[in-house]
Each structure stands twice: as structure tokens, then as C-alpha cells.
């Protein structure tokens, strides 16, 4: 049996949320960071993630605000090319992503290395 291969729309969650929450609705950046990073790290029990502070992993996303593009099916990096955002104009772009300080995505170079992530389950209390 084959696994589905991704959550439809997850690839563009950060840029869509930044466009909608910060650019269109004026959400303050600290609140956006808390919603998108800190809360997720806390839910999954990832103590070294979700915050910029000494001793934490340097997991960072660099966003190009006011950089519109129309998402096309061929832009999707996951196996099943389905997303609720295909055909939508998104008003921000992910320019670079760091995982523990290493570049894992760059808008001009794509993915320079094999994936480094690992599967995690929600922290069991």
C-alpha cells in the first residue's frame, strides 16, 4: 500500500498565511511567528525549535513580502500534485529556509541537498 505523499497545501502554508495574515490583515510579525512556529513546536514537544534564542536550533524561514506569483501545478514539490492554492495569486514568497543553520531551500537554487527532516508524532503526555 502506498502512502499519500503529503498534505495538500502544506508546501504553501507559510507564504499564504503571511500574505493573508500579515500583509492583508496587519497581524504583527511577533504574533505571526508565535502562531506559525512557537505554537507548533510546543504542540509537538520540540524544545529546541520554534524560537530564536541561544541554545535553540537555527530553523528560520526568510520571506519575500509583496512578491506575488500565481501557484502552478508544476511548482508543487510533493508527489500528488494537488493543492487548494493552484491558480491562486500569492502575495509573498519563501526565499530561503534554514534547518539547524543549514540552507535546505533557496528560491534561486531550489533544494541543494537530500531532505534532512525526520518523521515526528505529536508529543505524548
Name the class of domain 10-106. mainly beta
| Predicted confidence pLDDT, tens digits, the chain (125 residues) | 454 566 778 889 999 999 999 999 999 999 999 999 999 999 989 999 999 999 999 999 999 999 999 999 999 888 888 899 999 999 999 999 999 999 999 999 988 887 776 766 665 44
What residues contact 111, with CB distance under 8 A and at least 6 apart? 77, 104, 105
pLDDT at 86: 95
pLDDT at 10: 83
Give residue limits of the domains in the chain: 10-106
pLDDT at 125: 46
For the chain, helix (H) and strand (E) counts, in that order, are: 3, 3
Amino acid at each position: 500500500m502506498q502512502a499519500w505523499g503529503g498534505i495538500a497545501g502544506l508546501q504553501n502554508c507559510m507564504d499564504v498565511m503571511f500574505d493573508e495574515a500579515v500583509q492583508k490583515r496587519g497581524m504583527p510579525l511577533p504574533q505571526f511567528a508565535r502562531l506559525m512556529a512557537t505554537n507548533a513546536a510546543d504542540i509537538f514537544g520540540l524544545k529546541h525549535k520554534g524560537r530564536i534564542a541561544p541554545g535553540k536550533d537555527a530553523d528560520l524561514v526568510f520571506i519575500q513580502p509583496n512578491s506575488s506569483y500565481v501557484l502552478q501545478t508544476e511548482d508543487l514539490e510533493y508527489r500528488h500534485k494537488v493543492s487548494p492554492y493552484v491558480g491562486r495569486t500569492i502575495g509573498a514568497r519563501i526565499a530561503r529556509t534554514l534547518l539547524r543553520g543549514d540552507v535546505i531551500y533557496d528560491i534561486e537554487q531550489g533544494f541543494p541537498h537530500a531532505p534532512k527532516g525526520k518523521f515526528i508524532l505529536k508529543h505524548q503526555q
